[in-house]
Amino acid sequence: MNLSLIGNRYAKALISLANEQGKLEEVYNDMKFFETVCSENDEFRKIMANPIVRHEKKYGILKKIFENRVTDVTFSIFSVLTKKNREQLLYPIAQEFHKLYDEQKGIQKVEISTPVALTEDQKAEFSKVVAESLNKTVDLSEKIDESLIGGYVLTIGDTQIDTSVKNKLNELKRAMAS
């Protein structure tokens, strides 16, 4: 079962409902909160995905953690999925919701890997160049990878632009081996 594909269907319904009720930003924040709980508590994710744990217990856990902290729209999806024995879809739905939100808002996630931390001016320049070329708002995240030696690796969706010294050395090595 492809959880991402099924999660996408539920996420589309959730984003549509959130838009209808004028609660898109609130539901977005709720899904961020849910993802944070999942990433910080591996036990929680395991319980939600475990078919042996009774659904009533899972619902009780969701209710205790989220009922008074998320919108009624968000909690209703938690409730519906629990009643349908599909709690394992909650995390994929949250992930897919964020992708759909970014798409709707024209936001492109971009990751830049460099051997040393970039200055704020350098980050701003990368964001500006990418934003202009894609005609989207850029959400830039930075990753330090000392193995790159110099240069950078820019990842935009499935596209990667690698100007690192490490890559150049590997290309030279392959060329010399031929």
pLDDT tens digit sequence for 36-61: 999 999 999 999 989 899 999 999 99
3-class secondary-structure state, position 46: helix
Cα separation, 152 vs 52, in Å, equals 46
Segment 131-158 shows an average pLDDT of 93
Catalogue the E-assigned strands of the chain: 107-114, 137-144, 153-156, 159-162
Single out the residue in 49, 77, 103 at which a domain terminates: 103
Residues 111 and 67 in one domain: no
Domain containing residue 12: 3-103
Mean pLDDT, the chain, rounded, equals 93
Residues 98 and 121 in one domain: no
Share of residues in the chain with pLDDT > 90 (%): 86
Please check the confidence at residue 3 and state whether its pLDDT lies above 80.
no
Task: Give phi and psi for 160, each to the nearest 5.
Answer: -130, 130
pLDDT of amino acid 1: 61
Residues 92 and 139 in one domain: no
How far is the CA of 129 from the CAs of 68, 85, 88, 162, in angstroms? 42, 46, 39, 16
Residues 118 and 172 in one domain: yes
- Nearest CA to 113 out of 163, 43, 159, 79 is that of 163
Ramachandran category for residue 149: left, alpha or beta (phi over 0 → left; psi -120 to 50 → alpha): left
The maximal CA–CA distance of the chain, rounded, in angstroms, is 64
- What's the pTM value of the predicted model, to 2 decimals? 0.81
The bridge status of strand 107-114 relative to strand 137-144 is parallel
Single out the residue in 79, 103, 127 at which a domain terminates: 103
Residues 141 and 172 in one domain: yes
